C-alpha cells in the first residue's frame, strides 16, 4: 500500500478485453515506479533526482504521479484537500517542489526579483536571509527559477562594467541606493527614526515587504537601528515612571 492509499498489491481479477488490458497496464506501471513513488512520498528529493536514482524516465514518472498518485502531488504542494476531489484541484507549475521548500526560499526568490537587491549577488542574498548559498543558487534557483538566475547573473556582469549609482561596483561593494528606492522608503525611515514602532509593524502598515525594508535599513542605515533601540528603551523607562 502506498502512502496515499494506492494499492500496489496484485489481485486475482477476472477481466477480459479492454478492461483486462487497462488493469494489466496499471499493475505494470505501479510495480515499475514503486520505489520512485516511495521516495517521492517520504523525502524532499526532486522528481528529476528520483527518476535518475531509480533509473526511470522523468517524464514517465511525472505522468505516472499525475495519473495514479495525484493526492501525493497535492500533499507535496501543501494543498489541503478538506474533502475536495483531488482530480478537481489544479496543480501548480513548479511540480516536484515541496510546499515547505517553496516557503523557505520564497523571500530570497522575491529579493532576486527586486531592484532593492540589485546590488546583491546570489550568495549575498542567501546570507541576507540565512540560507545556504549552494542550496539557494546551485540547487533551488537553478532548478526552479533558471531564468531568474540567468537574469541575476547577467545583472552582476553588467554591474562589473560600470559604476552606476545604486549598483554594485566591480569588486562587489555596494554604493548608494537608487533615488527611487530612497523615496520609496523615506516615510519608513522617518517613522522608524522618530517613533518606537517596530520596523515590521511600519512595513505592514505602509504595505511594504518587511524583509526588503529590513535589508535596506541594515545596509544603508545601520546606525539608525541603534538609535531606534535607544528610543524604545527610553519610552519603556518613561512608561514605568
pLDDT digits (tens, 9 = 90+) for 219-229: 888 889 999 99
Please report the pLDDT score of residue 162 as a whole number: 52
3-state secondary structure the chain: CCCCCCCCCCCCCCCCHHHHHHHHHHHHHHHHCHHHHHHHHHCCCCHHHHHHHHCCCHHHHHHHHHHHCHHHHHHHCCCCCCCCCHHHCCCCCCCCCCHHHHHHHHHHHHHHHCHHHCCCCHHHHHHHCCCCHHHHHHHHHHHHCHHHHHHHHHHHHHHHCCCCCCCCCCCCCCCCCCHHHHHHCHHHHHHHHHCCCCHHHHHHHHCCCHHHHHHHHHHHCHHHHHHHHHHHHHHHHHHHC
Per-residue confidence band for 2, with pLDDT thresholds at 50, 70 and 90? low
Please report the pLDDT score of residue 198 as a whole number: 93
Please report the pLDDT score of residue 167 as a whole number: 45
pLDDT digits (tens, 9 = 90+) for 100-135: 677 788 888 888 887 777 777 888 888 888 888 787
Please report the pLDDT score of residue 212 as a whole number: 83
What would you measure as the largest C-alpha separation in the chain, in angstroms? 89
Lowest mean pLDDT across 5-14, 164-173, 185-194, 230-239: 164-173
Please report the pLDDT score of residue 219 as a whole number: 82
From the list 162, 97, 152, 151, the residue with the least C-alpha distance to 125 is 152
pLDDT digits (tens, 9 = 90+) for 140-189: 787 777 788 787 777 766 665 554 444 444 444 455 677 888 898 999 99
| Crossing angle of helices 47-54 and 34-42, rounded to 10° | 140
Please report the pLDDT score of residue 169 as a whole number: 45
CA-to-CA dists, residue 60 to 10, 66, 72, 109, 146, angstroms: 21, 10, 16, 29, 23
Per-residue confidence band for 18, with pLDDT thresholds at 50, 70 and 90? confident
With contact defined as beta carbons under 8 Å apart, do 8 and 1 qualify?
yes
Lowest mean pLDDT across 154-158, 196-200, 233-237: 154-158
From the list 157, 161, 237, 158, the residue with the least C-alpha distance to 196 is 237
Please report the pLDDT score of residue 159 as a whole number: 60
Please report the pLDDT score of residue 201 as a whole number: 93
- The tally of CA atoms less than 13 A away on the side-chain side of residue 195 is 11
C-alpha cell at 131: 540560507
pLDDT digits (tens, 9 = 90+) for 45-103: 888 889 999 999 988 998 899 888 888 887 776 666 677 776 666 655 444 556 667 77
Amino acid at each position: 500500500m502506498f502512502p496515499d492509499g494506492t494499492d500496489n498489491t496484485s489481485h486475482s481479477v477476472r477481466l477480459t478485453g479492454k478492461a483486462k488490458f487497462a488493469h494489466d497496464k496499471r499493475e505494470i506501471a505501479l510495480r515499475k515506479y514503486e520505489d520512485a513513488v516511495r521516495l517521492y512520498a517520504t523525502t524532499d528529493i526532486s522528481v528529476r533526482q528520483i527518476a535518475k536514482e531509480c533509473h526511470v524516465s522523468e517524464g514517465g514518472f511525472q505522468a505516472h504521479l499525475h495519473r495514479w498518485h495525484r493526492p501525493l502531488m497535492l500533499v507535496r504542494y501543501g494543498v489541503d484537500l478538506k474533502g475536495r476531489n483531488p482530480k478537481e484541484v489544479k496543480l501548480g507549475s513548479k511540480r516536484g517542489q515541496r510546499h515547505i521548500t517553496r516557503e523557505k526560499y520564497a523571500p530570497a526568490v522575491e529579493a532576486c526579483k527586486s531592484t532593492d537587491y540589485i546590488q546583491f549577488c546570489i550568495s549575498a542574498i542567501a546570507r541576507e536571509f540565512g540560507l545556504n548559498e549552494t542550496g539557494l543558487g546551485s540547487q533551488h534557483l537553478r532548478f526552479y527559477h533558471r531564468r531568474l538566475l540567468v537574469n541575476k547573473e547577467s545583472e552582476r556582469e553588467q554591474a562589473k562594467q560600470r559604476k552606476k549609482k545604486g549598483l554594485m561596483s566591480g569588486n562587489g561593494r555596494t554604493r548608494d541606493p537608487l533615488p527611487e528606492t530612497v523615496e520609496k522608503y523615506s516615510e519608513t525611515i522617518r517613522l522608524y527614526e522618530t517613533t518606537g514602532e517596530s520596523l515590521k509593524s511600519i512595513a505592514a502598515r505602509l504595505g511594504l515587504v518587511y524583509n526588503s525594508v529590513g535589508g535596506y535599513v541594515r545596509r544603508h542605515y545601520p546606525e539608525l537601528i541603534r538609535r531606534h533601540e535607544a528610543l524604545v528603551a527610553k519610552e519603556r523607562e518613561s512608561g514605568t515612571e
